[in-house]
Structure 1
Amino acid sequence: MRKMQVQGVHHITLTGADRQSSIDFWEGVLGMPFVFDQPNLDNPDEGHLYFDPGDGRLITVFTNETRKRVHNRTPMDPGCVHHIAFNVSQATFRQTVERLNERGIGHSGPKDRGFMDSIYFKDPLGLLIELASYRFEPPAGSSHAAVLLEAHRIRVERGDYNIAEIHLADAIERIVERSTGTLSDSRGAADPY
């Protein structure tokens, strides 16, 4: 038996309300370009809208002009989607409260997650949306996931409860030491003063 190795998220498809509400939210609030449009090939009564969240992957939305917007929270039963998180820069993150407030969109306020900052709010159909901003950049040739894995290992070694910025900084240092050679006799910390 062998695995079917995935290489990233291809797309996520959500059930939306009407076409214009979907465009207004995904492009008009979150800034995702509306890049492709066709019928839902499995249901001729629905449209299928495609949005680019910024990394070239896709968020797609099934629309139906008879579905209306609701503001209740989507189900959180086992097997249901709890929320979807989208990456934003720190510059954008610092503007989220103001920009959500000017639209009258209720939100959680900024949340400190140790390795990232987050804010939560609902889409027009009650799906919880998170805007998240990492507090670090991975070393060249590495990824956020690789840094988080190394930071997790450091956190566990030290018996700490959750990942904090010190774990991230130490993880980045370890990754750089493993991936980049040096002509120095020692890679240890030094005091040149």
Structure 2
Amino acid sequence: MPTPELQLSGIHHLTAVSANIRENKRFYTQDLGMRLVKRSVNQDDTSAYHLFYSDKVGTPGMDLTFFDWSVGRERRGSHSVTCTALRVRDEASLRYWQGRFQELGIQHAEITERGGRLTLDFEDPEGQRLALVVDGGAGDPPVPWERSPVPAEYQVRGLGPITITIPTLANTDKVLQQVMHLRPVREYPDPTSPAHTVHVYEMGAGGPHAELHVAVRPDMSPVQSGAGGVHHVAFRTPNEQEYHAWNEHLSHFGLHSSGEVDRYYFRSLYFREPNGVLFEIATDGPGFGVDEDMATLGEKTILPPRFESRRAQILAGLKPVD
């Protein structure tokens, strides 16, 4: 039976692709001032790092993560995640970041209002499309990282709206509303093509940490995946009870999914929406402190228990990241 009371509470994490993981670590920890909270491997491809950047403790909804794959650069297009927003508190924070980007030579646009919020677009060295969005203090409060080069009041507060670009809306809209229980709340012109529309959906209590923006662009060619692109976006469910219910709920609607997957730090459930964008539903816990001291998160390579017997072999296949 479908479970109409199930509600996702926001964005859980976003996972992207890097072909230069050493520079990736430098950029996100030094230039963006985020903490590397977990240095592990891709659990489906242990030849590759999986790095997690977040606040001091890896609060759910704060995690920007990367797979380390030696692939060519993404050719941008539809059927994909096309912008990842990171939240900051206020306009003063955006002004700070604008000056920091200028000083560090980071490619960025001007501060603009988009979809009702002040926004500053920028890119990482591999062309990953990012934006800083003012949240006015909304969302779960982050735990500032005292060793960050960015002052606490200006640090990234977590993930904001995620934008996907698709050619047609109807079937995706049905999944978002009828299956995932997201609510359409507003629209705005696509900033890269104002003749087209971005549709905003919210989940849970709403707010910039709980929005999916859907740009409808029938004029764009399909993406060719690669470095500088996004692998998947994950949505939050609070506990394992609701996670199991989501698995049954998706099955009721005939959506093909991965089935339940234990990622050790959270439980995962993967499926593709009708235009092919990979979604994940992930539990808030147990979290990154389950297997290492919170004071030393990210300082050494940690493997989930099922990989420990192969530690020497796995570590020998990884590139130096420091």
TM-score (ref. length: structure 2) = 0.39
**2:157 matched residue in structure 1:** 7
Do residues 162 (structure 1) and 315 (structure 2) align?
no
Residue 196 of structure 2 is aligned to residue 56 of structure 1: no
Give per-residue Cα distances to partners, 1:120-166, cap 9 Å, x unaligned: 11111211111001344xxxxxxx6xxx2584337989x973279xx
Q: Does 1:129 align with 2:279?
A: yes
Matches of 1:40 and 1:48, distance apart in 2:
5
**CA distance in structure 1 between the partners assigned to 2:184 and 2:213 by the alignment:** 10
Structure 1 counterpart SS, 2:255: coil
- 8 Å contact 1:115–1:163 — kept in the other structure? no
For 1:161, the aligned partner's letter is: L
Q: Which shows bigger deviation, 113-122 or 24-33?
A: 24-33
Question: Given that residues 87 and 133 in structure 1 are in contact (C-alpha distance below 8 angstroms), is that contact kept between their aligned partners in structure 2?
Answer: yes
C-alpha separation in 1, matches of 2:303 and 2:192? 47
SS in 2 for 1:124: coil
- Structure 2 distance, partners of 1:93, 1:152, is 25
Distance 1:101 1:87, change over 3 A: same
CA distance in 2 between partners of 1:102 and 1:108 (Å): 14
**Residues 1:36 and 2:186 are matched in the alignment:** yes
**Residues 47, 77 of structure 1: alpha-carbon distance in 2 compared, 3 angstrom cutoff:** same
Distance 1:161 1:75 in 2: 31
Aligned-CA RMSD value: 3.4
Q: SS at the partner of 1:104?
A: coil
Structure with max Cα Rg: 1
Q: 2:269 aligns with which of 113, 119, 122?
A: 119
**Larger relative contact order (Cα-Cα within 8 Å, sequence gap ≥ 6):** 2
- Kept in 1: contact 2:172–2:275 (CA 8 A): no
- 1:152 paired with 2:292, answer yes
Distance in 1 (CA, whole Å) between partners of 2:283 and 2:202 is 18
Distance 1:94 1:149, change over 3 A: closer
Tell me if the contact between 1:35 and 1:50 (Cα under 8 Å) persists in the aligned partners: yes
- Post-superposition Cα deviations, 1:93-129, rounded to whole Å, max 9, x if no partner, equal 1122322222221111101122321111111121111
Q: Residue 79 of structure 1 aligns to which amino acid in structure 2?
A: G
Runs of 5+ consecutive residues of structure 2 not aligned to the other structure: 1-102, 104-148, 307-322
Does the CA contact (< 8 Å) of 1:107 and 1:121 recur in 2? yes
- Please tell me the residue identity of whatever aligns with 1:152: E
Letter in 1 for 2:304: N
User: Does the 8 Å contact 2:260/2:267 carry over to 1?
Assistant: yes
What secondary structure is seen at the aligned counterpart in 1 of 2:230? coil
Distance in structure 1 (CA, Å) of the matches to 2:163 and 2:289 = 28
1:29-108 correspondence runs (5 A): 29-54=179-204, 56-57=207-208, 58-64=211-217, 66=218, 75-89=224-238, 90-108=240-258
Deviation at 1:6, TM superposition (A): 2.0
Check the 8 A contact 2:247/2:259 in 1, yes or no: yes
In the alignment, the residues of structure 2 paired with residue 160 and residue 81 of structure 1 have an alpha-carbon distance, to the nearest angstrom, of 23
Bigger fraction of residues in strand:
2
Percent sequence identity over matched residues?
24
> Which stretches in structure 1 are left out of the alignment for 5+ residues?
137-143, 165-193
Contact 1:152 1:163 in 2 (8 A): no
Q: Is the contact made by 1:32 and 1:53 (CA closer than 8 Å) also made in structure 2?
A: yes
TM-score when normalising by structure 1: 0.62
